[in-house]
Amino acid sequence: MTTIGVLVMAYGGPDKLEDVEPYLMDVRGGRATSPAAITEVRERYREIGGRSPILERTLAQASALQEALDPQHSVFRLYTGMRHWHPYIKDVLAEMAGAGIDRAVGLVMAPHYSRMSVGVYYKKVDEVYSSIAMRQIEQWHLLPGYLDALVDHVGDALQRFPSEIRASVPIIFTAHSLPERILTWGDPYPGQLQATVAAVVERLGPFHGERHFAYQSAAMTPEPWLGPDVSKVIGQLAADGHENVLIAPIGFVCEHVEILYDIDVALQRQARTLGLHLERIEMLNTAPAMINGLADLVRDEAKKAGWL
């Protein structure tokens, strides 16, 4: 039986502070970034340790997925490619082709589909001349294992609050903002996010606190981005007299700058100023429920292709 490749993809991030400028140039499609923006982004990475951990986190997820799928590597072989930094998707596809892989399943480590997010990953795959037949997993926002892992992590995070207030702590579910123009395309991204929130809330069971959804991490561009922004929701909760809040970043599955800086530094700073006690859930990373669910998803896609 010919080995089936599995290409696990994520956004990528700079390995050191000196990489920030070329990384931003890649993100911007070769267009230069203003010196002020480079300095600001570099300082964000400096505050979280001088680098992005997204590659090592994604490699760990791919390794866990390999174990769940095929620890002997006899049927499936996992590869990891980044959209905007090393190892680039195009280079990993070349590595796969060189290893004799002629069929593969693609998996982006982002549960919700948008033409501007997951769609771009597969556009990059399609742009590379390759002999590899690629089955594309485009969304998994209602994957039971993903939802179960989220519920477990929300429950664990609520335990950090005093028992007498735990059931009334407001929860803000967040995801990466995208430009508002996606709404003119009928893009499924906002609807899929709402579906995930509804499914998680249903699984949480009886709960008396407020539930909110907000976007985060909008880019520094003049065009309007999807809202409400999480900082505005936090401000309103404080104005309404709340003293506690839990952030659940459902649009992300591992730590990177949007978590380690945007939430753990910037939002925490805002919360302290407002007198709020803010917690966030632990990221899913290699949560067994999610990884096992993704393994099933990959197997199902291979079966649909007639490869198993």
Range 24-39 average pLDDT: 94
2 band by pLDDT with thresholds 50, 70 and 90: confident
Say yes or no to pLDDT of 221 above 90: no
Say yes or no to pLDDT of 22 above 80: yes
Say yes or no to pLDDT of 1 above 80: no
- Predicted confidence at residue 207, as pLDDT, reads 74
Which residue intervals of 107-229 are DSSP H helices? 118-127, 144-158, 189-204
Is residue 261 a contact partner of residue 48, using CB atoms and an 8 Å limit?
yes
CATH classification code of 144-280: 3.40.50.1400
CATH classification code of 4-140+286-304: 3.40.50.1400
Question: What does the alpha-carbon distance between residue 244 and residue 166 come to, in Å, rounded to a whole number?
Answer: 9
User: Longest Cα pair distance anywhere in the chain, in angstroms?
Assistant: 63
Q: Please list the residue range(s) of the chain that carry CATH number 3.40.50.1400.
A: 4-140+286-304, 144-280
Question: What does the alpha-carbon distance between residue 189 and residue 174 come to, in Å, rounded to a whole number?
Answer: 13
